[in-house]
């Protein structure tokens, strides 16, 4: 429950954002472009500060932090700034003959005051990328990062305060109380990234004001490895996707369906890759990301209790935090999917290995579950690729790789069904945070009379001719 103090503070913040928006200060495209450039320069100047905060929250190395967060943020910023003047122009469309003489076009306008709620696992990437899109579209923004990553939240608040008037963009720090108070307010758009359960609550709250939403959720993203796959390369790319951010990734490979004839070989190759990437003792690797907090650390340990482990299973407490590390772990399972890790989204470096005998079995296994955010297929068979892409529904994915489909501004990223609704990145971010008004601009020097009453036979004939 939110306190009266929290509610009053949030109400004042939203009112301030709405008043600032009404001034029209965010409308000029040149102002938005300048703001994006300024934000990029400030991020570059604060790179070490931002990466240090990321290390403090997640023990994420500077190399991984830049590769998977800041580098992608900066790339997105630059792209939006370059393309925004073009996207903001009126979009011309053909005009039906019946509307002669007129011109038809669409104008993009900002929604108004936008709420961006982001998670802890990629605190910069999943907070700032939607923020960039909202700014590019001309909105005012309230950004609410996760309380589980306090150091990055504080770093983002300081970054935003150095670039924007607080009425344009502001960061609200805090936990559930602040979240609850924010969701009681009327926003013009809500962009949420997080769990399915919280996403449902956000949508329910938004529905009271008929507020449009984008929901970036998650789910159990499958991997399919058929008998034609290049197993050493498959294992390398699969291991990368699983240990990146210690598996705390919404599109991380969640379980692996593998042709029974190559199952044992794949397991051996995965063991080799884990050891090659993290060493013989992954728990001692300085670049291996920590589990975010004790709650999730204990949950992951619980998923392994009593399970048939093919590899890994170790864990180590962190003396400097209330959490620790979970070693990359392979769990044996069957097409019954009865292991504990198959009961929920894992969000950790644990990978169930499930053999199948026919591709139909793998497809049925996936289709019996909610539509995932991602799917990864490893094959050298064109027939298999076409079959999977034509029968399995998922948000996005890769053929012969993992994760990388979200690291581009040239294609949108989003889920389907329980894994989310809506999408963003690049131009799609601008479109997501814009309302497109359809305009017909009619000339006054000519007025075709046949649409007006009385409806004579001649008028009716002319209407039919013009419409068809």
> Do 234 and 267 meet the contact criterion of CB atoms below 8 Å apart?
no
Report the alpha-carbon distance of residue 259 to residue 265 in Å, rounded: 11
Report the alpha-carbon distance of residue 340 to residue 331 in Å, rounded: 10
Report the alpha-carbon distance of residue 68 to residue 245 in Å, rounded: 9
Report the alpha-carbon distance of residue 284 to residue 381 in Å, rounded: 39
Task: Label residues 14-45 b or e (16+ Cβ within 10 Å = b).
Answer: bebbbebbeeeebeeeeebbebbeebbeebee
Residue whose C-alpha is closest to residue 10's, from 143, 134, 124: 143
> Could you give the 3-state DSSP secondary structure of residue 387?
helix
Strand partners, 193: 216
Q: Which two three-digit tokens encode residue 242? A: 């699983």
Report the alpha-carbon distance of residue 429 to residue 434 in Å, rounded: 9
Residue whose C-alpha is closest to residue 22's, from 168, 142, 131: 168
Residue whose C-alpha is closest to residue 379's, from 359, 400, 364, 395: 400
Q: What is the 3-state secondary structure (H, E, C) of 45-65?
A: HCHHHHHHHHHHHHCCCHHHH
Query: 186 — phi, psi (to 5°)?
Result: -90, 115
For the question of residue 392 being annotated catalytic, the response is: no
Report the alpha-carbon distance of residue 147 to residue 175 in Å, rounded: 5
> Do 161 and 87 meet the contact criterion of CB atoms below 8 Å apart?
no
Q: Which two three-digit tokens encode residue 233? A: 């390369």
| Beta strands across the sheet bearing 420-421 | 169-171, 140-144, 113-117, 189-193, 213-216, 420-421
Catalytic member of 64, 69, 76, 216: 216
Strand partners, 258: 225, 355
Token pair 């997501």: residue: 432
Catalytic member of 250, 256, 392, 398: 250
For the question of residue 204 being annotated catalytic, the response is: no
Report the alpha-carbon distance of residue 336 to residue 352 in Å, rounded: 12
> Could you give the 3-state DSSP secondary structure of residue 200?
helix
Residue whose C-alpha is closest to residue 257's, from 396, 391, 361: 361
Q: Known catalytic residues?
A: 216, 250
């Amino acid at each position: 429950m939110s306190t009266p103090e929290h509610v009053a503070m949030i109400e004042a913040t939203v009112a301030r954002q709405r008043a600032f928006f009404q001034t029209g200060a965010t409308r000029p495209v040149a102002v938005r472009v300048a703001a994006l450039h300024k934000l990029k320069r400030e991020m570059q100047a604060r790179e070490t500060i931002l990466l240090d905060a990321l290390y403090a929250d997640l023990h994420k190395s500077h190399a991984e932090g830049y590769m998977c967060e800041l580098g992608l943020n900066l790339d997105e910023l630059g792209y939006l700034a370059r393309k925004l003047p073009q996207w903001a122009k009126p979009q011309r469309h053909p005009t039906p003959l019946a509307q002669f003489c007129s011109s038809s076009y669409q104008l993009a306008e900002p929604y108004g005051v936008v709420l961006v709620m982001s998670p802890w696992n990629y605190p910069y990437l999943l907070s700032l990328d939607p923020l960039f899109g909202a700014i590019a579209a001309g909105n005012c923004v309230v950004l609410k990062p996760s309380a589980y990553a306090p150091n990055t939240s504080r770093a983002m608040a300081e970054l935003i305060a150095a670039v924007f008037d607080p009425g344009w963009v502001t960061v609200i720090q805090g936990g559930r109380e602040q979240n609850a108070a924010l969701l009681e307010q009327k926003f013009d758009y809500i962009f949420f990234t997080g769990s399915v359960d919280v996403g449902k609550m956000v949508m329910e709250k938004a529905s009271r004001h008929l507020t449009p939403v984008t929901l970036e959720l998650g789910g159990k993203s499958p991997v399919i490895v058929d008998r034609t796959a290049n197993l050493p390369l498959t294992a390398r790319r699969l291991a990368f996707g699983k240990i990146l951010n210690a598996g705390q990734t919404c599109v991380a490979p969640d379980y692996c369906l593998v042709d029974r004839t190559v199952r044992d070989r794949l397991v051996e190759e995965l063991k080799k890759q884990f050891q090659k990437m993290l060493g013989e003792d992954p728990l001692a690797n300085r670049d291996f990301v920590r589990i975010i907090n004790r709650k999730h650390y204990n949950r992951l340990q619980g998923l392994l209790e009593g399970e048939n482990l093919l590899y890994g299973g170790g864990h180590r407490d962190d003396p400097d935090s209330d959490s620790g590390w979970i070693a990359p772990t392979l769990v044996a399972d069957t097409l019954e999917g009865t292991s504990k890790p198959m009961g929920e989204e894992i969000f950790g470096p644990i990978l169930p290995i499930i053999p199948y005998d026919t591709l139909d079995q793998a497809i049925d296994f996936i289709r019996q579950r909610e539509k995932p955010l991602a799917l990864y297929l490893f094959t050298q068979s064109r027939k298999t690729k076409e079959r999977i892409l034509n029968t399995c529904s998922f948000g996005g994915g890769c053929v012969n790789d993992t994760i990388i489909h979200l690291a581009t501004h040239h294609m949108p990223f989003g889920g389907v069904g329980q894994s989310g609704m809506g999408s963003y990145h690049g131009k799609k971010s601008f479109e997501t945070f814009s309302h497109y008004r359809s305009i017909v601009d009619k000339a006054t020097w000519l007025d075709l009379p046949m649409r007006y009453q009385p409806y004579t036979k001649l008028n009716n004939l002319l209407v039919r001719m013009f419409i068809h």
